[in-house]
Amino acid sequence: MICGLQEEDGGILATARDDAYPFVYPRDAAIMTMALNLRGLYENSRAFYDYIARVQRTNGEVFQRYNAGHPFVSQTGEVDVTPIVIQGIYDTFQATEDSAFLEKMWEVTAEGVKFIGSTIDRDVGLLHTTRSVHEYQGLEEGFEVWANSAAVKGLLDASKIASVLHKQDLADAWLFQAKSLWSAMMGKLYDPGSSLFVKTLKKDGSKIAAPDVAQVSPFYFGLTNDRSSLERTLSYLRRTLWNEGVGGFNRFRDFEVVADWHWYTGGMRASWPLFTLWMAKLYRRLGDADSEGECMRFVRRASTIPLDIPEKIAPLEGYEEWKRNETQYNERVQRGAVKAEASSTSIPGYVAWACPLGWSHAEYLLLEKRADLEDAELLAERL
């Protein structure tokens, strides 16, 4: 399925062209290359990063959305994308041990690191983003946990790339930058009393602390292996975001922070196979087979036959409510709605949005990959 989303120019689409997201989203695609690498499909990954080298902006930024022919159409400010691309480059090298590929990607990496550095607020010490994994400014503008976690991991991998290429001064500098950013995260985005990371710290000092799946970001990127904190985080999110009716995790509680109909794009009161797969992997890291199994049973029920995994499934009631309130209905969204209404899962009364989604399939495959916690050991012995 993932191979089928790759275009002749190397770009990897988020969904098929007749579905909701017929664009190259490098955040999604870089994670898809990690799944491709796991299966030995290295040429597909190399082709994607050749594509990235052609579309990267002159300031080093990789945007989150590109149309065919490479015009950048996404808004700037989703700064997690660039470090995730760097992670994908290093993952491709790890899988292939192809130093010539790293040499070819050196400029993409070095310029990307410069861009990451330009987004770090000198006074706060944290990366500032406009949007992040949920792609909504009202919720995520500020010092957000997914974007900062992605940046720490991206800087660590950039340091390793520099070291492989015998650029030790830069390797040391980027490692120091990663450690400094992690230290700022621990000081300002982590609450030791609750053992939880907060979603977003605003510039005025206020925090968005409502439950959000992004609170697992430091664990997702392998930055910490504090078992008690991971257990506390998963317990908290299971209690607050699990759909007790059909299963699966919500990304957050509807309208607790965000009150924008258009932004929901068919996902009202939705359960997300994509994020539930994150949780399954973290439960596996803890050795919690029961919780992992519960997540996987939901994913399989929420998928079509033969295992086309959607981004999210929404109850018809909430989906119809969204359609009645949608104010910016365009051709792309309409295609997504037509596809969703034609999808059939084993959960009656739900529609599957963006099905199949490449990122969901990548996370399904990456469940096989053993957790690499080398970065956690490098950054801190414990939280």
CATH number of the domain where residue 354 is located = 1.50.10.10
Distance CA 256, CA 131 (A): 18
User: Are 93 and 164 within 8 A, CB to CB?
Assistant: yes
Give the chain's domain count.
Answer: 1
In the prediction, which pLDDT does 253 show? 85
pLDDT tens by residue, 34-62: 999 999 999 999 999 999 999 999 899 99
What stretch of H or E contains 352? strand 350-353
Largest CA distance in the chain: 58
Give percent above pLDDT 90 in the chain: 77
Residue 294 — very low, low, confident or very high, per pLDDT cuts 50/70/90? very high
For the chain, what is the mean pLDDT? 93
In the prediction, which pLDDT does 104 show? 98
* Local structure of residue 262 (DSSP, 8 states): G
pLDDT tens by residue, 354-363: 999 999 999 9
pLDDT at 383 over 60: no
Q: Cα 378 to the chain's mean position, in Å? A: 22
Which structural domain range is residue 371 located in? 3-379
pLDDT tens by residue, 150-200: 999 999 999 999 999 999 999 999 999 999 999 999 999 999 999 999 999
φ/ψ of 335, rounded to 5, equals -60, -40
- Please, what sign has the CA dihedral across residues 371, 46, 24, 89? positive
In sequence order, the β-bridge partners of residue 353 are 312
pLDDT at 371 over 90: no
Name the region of 243 (left: φ>0; alpha: ψ -120 to 50; beta: rest).
beta
Whether the model clears a pTM of 0.85, i.e. scores above it, the answer is: yes
Give the pLDDT mean for 94-107. 98
